[in-house]
Amino acid sequence: MTNLSAATLDEMLVSDDFLSDPYPLLRRLREEDPVHWSDSIGGWVLTRYDDIMTTFREVSQFSNEGRLAKVVEYLPPASRDKFKLLEDHYRIKSLIHSDPPDHTRFRALVTKAFSPRLVEAMRPRIQEIVNSLLDAVQDKGQMDVIQDLAVPLPVTVLADIFGVPQSDQTAFKGWADDLLAFQGVNKPSEAALARSQGAIVEIEGYLARLIQERRRQPRQDLLSELVAAEAEGGKLSEPELLNSCITLLVAGHETTTSSIGNGIYTLLAHPDQWRLLQSNPSLLTSAIEEILRYESPVARQPRLMRQDTEMGGKQFREGEMVFQMLNAANRDPAYFIDPERFDITRERNRHLAFGLGIHFCVGATLARAETNIVFSTVVKRLPAIRLATDQPNWDLHKPNSRMLKTLSVYF
């Protein structure tokens, strides 16, 4: 890149400054080197919408299988051996760690739990949870949006679907933080790997006990359905059952947490757009889609090359990693008019926040319903809501997520 050495660029791509505000560098990459090899991240960095669409569609080349197990391969043998449990865990196929035909099998088992019909039926329960969370803070006149609303809502909803006791829900956030700590780069620190491996041990033990309970006494919940599928044979093996449960329970709420936090911050940081939404609630649906585009909750996703190919004049080799920078694609001027502007009236908004094709997020309908209910309720109940500070506190320990660590507001 112009006047920027490869070493300097690599330092920038893994810096706290980049994680706080990635957009200037992503824009420069998209304009000057849209297919960029990064030693620090450990793979190809893609920033153009068209290129990232290709990686979603060509699953035979750009694979989900085994992609996260690759993170230990850069370590010397003695260090790599310490993380065998983590490596083995991510070599097991599950919903987001597989390709067809296995992916088709996994998706069929869980899709019905997140169907539009069932999500619509859940709206009264979601509204009840939102109301109770706001009731708990309204008299205080302030709250931390993340801890008081954005985390507990999706965790509670997902626990209801899954059939997890309410008393255990607080553990999910910690497990999610630990499991996601190493993701988003292909050369994470050993400390991040150790943190994630420890979380795997804890949540596997917890879920193993729940699975045994459902085998003895099934209920009307998703966990019981998955346990029944494993018992039938041919649909789900025991390791796949455990892995799929971890994926759904821990990673399943992160996107909604991000969307709620990012959305409230972005709206309040753009007072004209917040006032526009207050005066015209019919803009809520388009406002949510603009939030998903402007501050994509999933910042990047990895893919593993299954065969050699070429993109943008660069040669990809089998076994290399490719990172889809979704927050760059969602601001590509080839697809979005004035992409750096936050505009809740935007009409052409085919963002990639939930992915594309067969790997389109299975929980997208639920995530949209939850954010819709949150924002509509906040507009009605907290008309004077405002930021406590104009300096956002982004979580710098999850490179694959665009997520606020805290968000203090007054109302």
From 104-108, 325-329, 364-368, the region with the lowest mean pLDDT: 104-108
pLDDT at 229: 84
| pLDDT per residue as tens digits for the range 239-297 | 888 888 888 877 678 889 999 999 999 999 999 999 999 999 999 999 999 999 999 99
Question: What does each C-alpha distance from 275 to 33, 283, 382 come to in angstroms?
Answer: 39, 11, 13
Query: Is residue 284 exposed (0-12), middle (13-18) or buried (19+ Cβ within 10 Å)?
Result: middle
Residue 384 main-chain phi, psi, to 5 deg? -100, 15
Residue 177 main-chain phi, psi, to 5 deg? -55, -45
For strands 43-46 and 321-325, give the pairing: parallel
8 Å CB contact between 326 and 352: yes
User: How would residue 3 be classed by pLDDT, with cut points 50, 70 and 90?
Assistant: low
Class of domain 6-410: mainly alpha
User: How would residue 238 be classed by pLDDT, with cut points 50, 70 and 90?
Assistant: confident
From 174-183, 211-220, 345-354, the region with the lowest mean pLDDT: 174-183
User: How would residue 1 be classed by pLDDT, with cut points 50, 70 and 90?
Assistant: low
pLDDT at 132: 97
The 3 state secondary structure assigned to the chain is CCCCCHHHHHHHHCCHHHHHCCHHHHHHHHHHCCEEEECCCCEEEECCHHHHHHHHHCCCCEECCCCCHHHHCCCCHHHHHCCHHHHHHCCCCCCCCCCCCHHHHHHHHHHHHHCHHHHHHHHHHHHHHHHHHHHHHHCCCEEEHHHHHHCHHHHHHHHHHHCCCHHHCHHHHHHHHHHCCCCCCCCCCHHHHHHHHHHHHHHHHHHHHHHHHHHHCCCCCHHHHHHHHHHHCCCCCHHHHHHHHHHHHHHHHHHHHHHHHHHHHHHHHCHHHHHHHHHCHHHHHHHHHHHHHHCCCECEEEEEECCCEEECCEEECCCCEEEEEHHHHCCCCCCCCCCCCCCCCCCCCCCCCCCCHHHCCCCHHHHHHHHHHHHHHHHHHCCCCEECCCCCEECCCCCCECCEEECEEEC
User: How would residue 399 be classed by pLDDT, with cut points 50, 70 and 90?
Assistant: confident
Kindly tell me the sign of the dihedral angle through the C-alpha atoms of 358, 347, 290, 156.
Answer: negative
User: How would residue 143 be classed by pLDDT, with cut points 50, 70 and 90?
Assistant: very high
Using the CB atoms, write b or e for 21-32: b if 16+ within 10 Å. Answer: ebeebbbbbbee
The amino acid at 36: H
Report residue 152 as tokens.
């507990």
Angstrom distance (rounded) from CA 133 to CA 159: 16
User: How would residue 393 be classed by pLDDT, with cut points 50, 70 and 90?
Assistant: very high
The pLDDT of 359-382, averaged and rounded, is: 94
The mean predicted confidence, pLDDT, of the chain is: 91
User: How would residue 113 be classed by pLDDT, with cut points 50, 70 and 90?
Assistant: confident
For residue 71, is pLDDT > 90? no
Which has the higher per-residue pLDDT, 186 or 114? Answer: 114
What are the extents of the domains in the chain?
6-410
Predicted TM-score (pTM) of the model is 0.92
The pLDDT of 362-387, averaged and rounded, is: 95
| pLDDT per residue as tens digits for the range 26-37 | 999 999 999 999
Which has the higher per-residue pLDDT, 313 or 244? Answer: 313
For residue 218, is pLDDT > 70? yes
pLDDT at 2: 59
Angstrom distance (rounded) from CA 9 to CA 75: 23
